[in-house]
Structures are given as C-alpha cells and as structure tokens.
Structure 1
C-alpha cells in the first residue's frame, strides 16, 4: 500500500470511520497489476531500454536510445543480442537547453538515401524543450548535428502557435503516401500531439514563421493531457496515429496509480495523413478519443509504451515494438524491457499477436495446385 494510502487508512481508523484489520486477517494490497489475458505476452527483445527506437537497415536492426550522446546498438534480429556500436553525437547537442549531453526519445528514419535522427533536449516536467536533428550517410557513419527543428517556451519561433502551448519532445516522422511530403509529429501533456510539415531536407519546418500545424490528439477540458510518445504508420488505406497515455514511469518514487491509469498504447486512424483521426468508436483523437491497442496484462506486463511500428511488406507482418516493465524484474525506468508483437489488421484495426501468422503448409500447397492446374 502506498504511503499516502497508509496515512489515510490510519486516520480513518483513528476517527473510527473504519475498523482496523484484525491481526489474524491477512492484508491484501489494492490491485495494481492487471491479470487480463486480452493482450498477448510480448516477444522478448533481450535488452533493457526505455523509449526504444528501431531502424531496419541493410538487413540488420539498429536500436537508438536516450542517454549520453544517444547510444546506438545493433543486432541481426529483434530478439538480440544487441551490440553497442557508438553514439549519434560526439559531444553535447548544440541546442542550449538542459540535458543537452543526454538527449532522449530519439526517432531515426531513412529518407532519400540518408539517415536522420530526431532527438529531445529537455528537463522532465518542463516545457522548455527542443527537438533536434542529426544526419549521416548510414547508421554507422559520421553524424552531423544540425540543432533544433522545433523549440518551445524558449528559442527560435517559440513565440509562434503552437509552440506557445505545446511541448517539443517525443518526435515522430511520417511521409504522405501519395505525395511523399514529410511531416514531424511531437508533443506531450501540454496540448497533446501536434504535426508540422518539414522542409525537403528534413532539417527544419517547411515554413518556420507559419508552421501550418495540426493538433492531432488532445483531451479538451482536462488540466493534464497524458498523451505523448506518438508514432504514425501507413497500412493501406489508413494512416494510424499511435501514442502512449497515462503514467509512464518513476513508480518507485512517485507511487503506483490506480490500475488502468498507467501507460497504455492507444491508436486512431485516418485516410488523410493530416487527420482527423478517430478511434474504433468513431471519437476523434483531437476530442479525447483513442482505442487501447496494448495494455498491462497477465500480471506480468506493466505500463507498456514508448512505441514504434516496423512496416512489413507482402510477405511479412507489421511489428509493434515498445518498452514495458516486467513485474518480476522491477519498476525503475532502467528496468524497462524491449518487447514486440506482430500486428494483424481486423476490419482495419491493428491487433497485437505474439506469434507470426504463417499460412499452413497445406494451404500453400493447395494454392500452388490451383495456380498451375
């Protein structure tokens, strides 16, 4: 039981409102960890990481994580083992904001033959934030730090909407499936999730003085908007806007929330890259919607979030990856584990599966017979 709960209980006992638990009655703590089996257990990524970002490149996987100069790890499989190969930055970010030596929540993409890593420079709980970008010829190449793309509270263009109300952390990237136009997503708590068009070189907002921003996800009327860590993927005919919602971390010091208020992975969809996005019930994400796609489960998986999606092709499924806390390991941020699930799309809605869906051999054989009959 949390310390505050104990204090309240003791006060109620002292006032006589409730009775103390008899000494011979075993104490049962309040339920915190969901035992639901509605979601699959994750496939194990064999690494402790918070807010993972994974880039498939030349047949291998590169994992980017928050930390000193943004560490890069490499593996032949999502199951690991992961080997550290270097960092994105050689020194502190050129962005003059707090934690510039330890950027976090990186998102790395390959675009027009070059690799771009968007990263966050900020202090936890502060809106004085920036999203920076570095680029290289390959994940293992020499990286160049280009500085801030978006700044909030302080910095260039921070006096322009939506930078006056949003928080420049947790970058994500998407291109319009038809036009190829690039967009940056960002945001956390202050105003929700925003999207701005990027310049063709991906190093700045297309029109810095007029960002043409869209507010894609928001909880109107609420003082706190616990939506962050957005990601967007395309699976014909929809764009899917993913985000994490709830209490993310620092459980040992801040305590556990009521079950269901911890991190969970939510999603909405739209046929337009700029929205509006709606959830499974038809509620716009900009009006508080968001279908839970993955949540705490089996009494083992707790507070999953910090997600990304690896797009498959005709012969492979999309993969949802994320961090989560394993209740048998611990609840510190450094205890977060990499997990992943395969995605099925049922009536156009993504549903995580633990196992890769493989067509039975007899169906494959029947297909060949039909084709060549």
Structure 2
C-alpha cells in the first residue's frame, strides 16, 4: 500500500546511460540505470520538466508535517534532495479523517499544457476512510519544485463501509480528450472515475465507478496506466509493502483494449479475478519492488518505482527502467544493474 512509514536515510546508487545486459534466456536487454545521489523515496512519481527532472514521494511520518517529499535531477541520473512540499497539510485533510495523519501518501504528477496536476492521498494505515486531493502549478521547475502550488481541495473520498479505498491515485488522459483517475488498495481492488480534463476534479456528467482489477480483498494497489499501440496497460503492485527487507511487493501488469477495462494478463486471466503478469520481484539487494508509475522521457516510455535496499538496511530507494515492448505487444523491464544478484 502506498502508505509507508518513511524515515530519512542516505541514498546510494542511480540512473545512467543505458548499457546492454543479458537475461538468463540469453536475450540482450537494456540494463536499468544505476542511480546515484539522494535516492530515499517511497511511492515515487517522476516528471520531466524544461530544466530537469522532478520526483515526489510519500511524506516522512511526523516530520515536516508529513508533507510530500521532493527530489530533483538535472540528468535523470544524479539525484538531490529538494526538501518537502509546504510546511503543513491542507486543512481539508484533518476534517475528512477526523485527525491529521502522520504523513501524506502516494503522489502522482500529470502535465497538461503548462499546468502540472498533483494528486495525492490522505489516509491512515489499514482504514479506508481516505481522500484524494489535488494541487496545481502553472510553471513547475526543477530549480524550485516546491514553489507555485495551489490547493484545489478534495477530489474524491471513501468511507468506512465502502468497498474501495480512495488512495494511490493516477491520472491518464486519452486521445478522445477525456481524463481518468485510477486508484485503490486492498478492499475490492483498483477502481476508476472520470475527470474533468481542465479542472482535474471529478466529471459531474459521469459518476460511474469502474472496476479494473481485484484480488478479492487481497493486496493489490499502486495502479498506473499507459497506452501502447491499441492497448492500455495497467501496472499494479501485489503483496506486502512497507516492511523493509521483509517486503514481498512485486510489479504486475495486464492489458485491455479500453482504458476502463476489462484487463487481462498474458495468460488471459482477468485482472478482476486476480490475474496479473509479473514484471519484477525481489532479487539480490533489490527487494520488494513496487509503488510503480509509468512516465515518458524524450518519447521513451519508462517505469519509476521504489525498492528496499538490502545493503542499506531495507531503506526505500528510487529506481527507473525503460519499458521494453516485445513483438507480442507485452512489456518487460530492463535487467537489474550489475552486482544485484
């Protein structure tokens, strides 16, 4: 679940120029870049802007008001800590939850024209009294990523008794001019609502709650969607998050001919019935990979995610990978950086 306790730790290892690696099958694939600098982040979102790269993640519990964390990079390889977004949580958060939570969770950045939309989650562990909020920025820059944000309030909420949990937001706009918000964690799984493309708030003309994926109450969360060719691909995380070296998070994918589903995995199993094709699980020091989100850089589709670094005591770290599309239309991730097995 995108709701971990995140304590500040020193980063180690980053994103670089793609080299060639070899899978066990012998097929050459790009290697995931070796990231460097300050990489301590959880539930990352990443956006390429005019003067570099901006990443955001879940807030540190009880530190800096629990507000969202910021990282920046000039080249997408070497990362620097950029502090946190504001000194306090929006006033509506405490009113919705009945108390201010230790931290805000799982941000996602989306850019339309010159406006950047930031969606994030407000909740507490194990409860589905939750809300997804929105902030906007007319001129986001890597030089000053914490400047220029305006609170647009609550987008959507869930409450005790609902069959869904309004956390882990992700926005996708489709070629027909419509906008969509995917979200969800545990309960009945991944859901979707229609958005107004301009305001970024719910579409008042379409109140349908779409169901995309479920494990019947089991661990599934961190949805993000990318279109490739004629299909939409839904990425999710399965299993245990937020437990350091004991985390069993893994990255899964399914696809559909429509953004609202139905999604199936590579074997044809519906994602509403627990289906999902595994892209990456724990290996070497890269334990519990998940909290993933797709992003585009220079026309290339990539995935950003966090993992728990066994060599750093289970600290949560930033990692990226190109999405490599096979002849069968399914994606794979690059091989892990050297020295990880």
Q: 208, 211, 228: which is aligned to 1:215?
A: 211
Shift of 1:69: 2.4
Tell me how far 1:199 sits from its aligned partner: 1.6
Q: Which residue of 2 aligns with 1:306?
A: 291
1:230 corresponds to: 223
8 Å CA contact 1:41–1:301 kept in 2: the answer is no
- What's the counterpart of residue 8 of structure 2? none
Task: Tell me the equivalent position of 1:103.
Answer: 104
Secondary structure at the counterpart of residue 35 of structure 2: strand
Aligned twin of 1:206: 203
Q: Which residue of 2 aligns with 1:360?
A: none
1:92 deviates by 1.7
TM-score, normalised by the number of residues in structure 1? 0.73
Residue 146 of structure 1: aligned partner: 152
Which of 349, 357, 373 aligns to 2:330? It is 349
CA distance in 1, matches of 2:31, 2:103: 31
Q: What 5-or-longer segments of structure 1 have no aligned partner?
A: 1-35, 357-373
Out of 311, 317, 325, which is 1:328 matched to? Answer: 311
Residue 74 of structure 1 contacts residue 84 of structure 1 at CA under 8 Å; is this kept in 2?
A: yes
Where 1:328 maps in the other structure, the secondary structure is: helix
1:338 matches 2:331:
no
| Preserved CA contact (<8 Å) 1:99 1:123 | no
Tell me, in whole angstroms, the C-alpha distance in 2 between the residues paired with 1:37 and 1:336.
27
Distance 1:125 1:167, change over 3 A: same
What is aligned with 2:33? 43
Task: Encode CA deviations 1:342-371: one digit per residue, 9 max, x unaligned.
Answer: 221111100111499xxxxxxxxxxxxxxx
Q: Distance in 1 between matches of 2:69 and 2:80?
A: 12
**Aligned 8 A contact 1:342 1:354 in 2:** no
Map 1:127-276; keep pairs closer than 5 Å: 127-139=128-140, 140=145, 141-153=147-159, 164-176=162-174, 178-207=175-204, 211-220=207-216, 224-251=217-244, 256=246, 262-276=248-262
One of 276, 293, 298 as aligned partner of 1:290: 276
After superposition, give the CA deviation of every residue in 1:35-88 in whole Å (9 maximum; x if it has no partner). x9689974333311111111111151101112132232221122223241652x
2-side partners of 1:125 and 1:229: how far apart? 15
TM superposition shift of 1:100: 4.9
> What SS does structure 2 have at the residue aligned with 1:48?
coil
> What's the counterpart of residue 73 of structure 2?
75
Alignment of 1:53-64 (within 5 A): 53-64=45-56
**Partner SS for 1:82:** strand
Partner of 1:66: 58
Are the equivalent residues in 2 in contact too, given 1:342–1:355 (CA < 8 A)? no
Normalized per residue, the structure richer in strand is 2
CA distance in 2 between partners of 1:123 and 1:53 (Å)? 20
User: Does 1:92 find its partner at 2:89?
Assistant: yes
Alignment partners' CA distance in 2, 1:80 and 1:144: 29
1:274-293 deviations in Å (ceiling 9; x for gaps):
11111100111112111001
> Distance between the aligned counterparts of 1:295 and 1:198, measured in 2?
33
The CA RMSD over aligned residues, in Å, is: 2.5
Of the two, which has the highest radius of gyration? 1
How far 1:99 moved relative to its partner?
4.1
CA distance in 2: counterparts of 1:274 and 1:71, whole angstroms: 31
Paired with 1:202 and 1:133, the residues of 2 have a C-alpha distance of 10
1:363 matched residue in structure 2 = none
Change (3 A) 1:70 1:183: same
Contact 1:43 1:354 in 2 (8 A): no
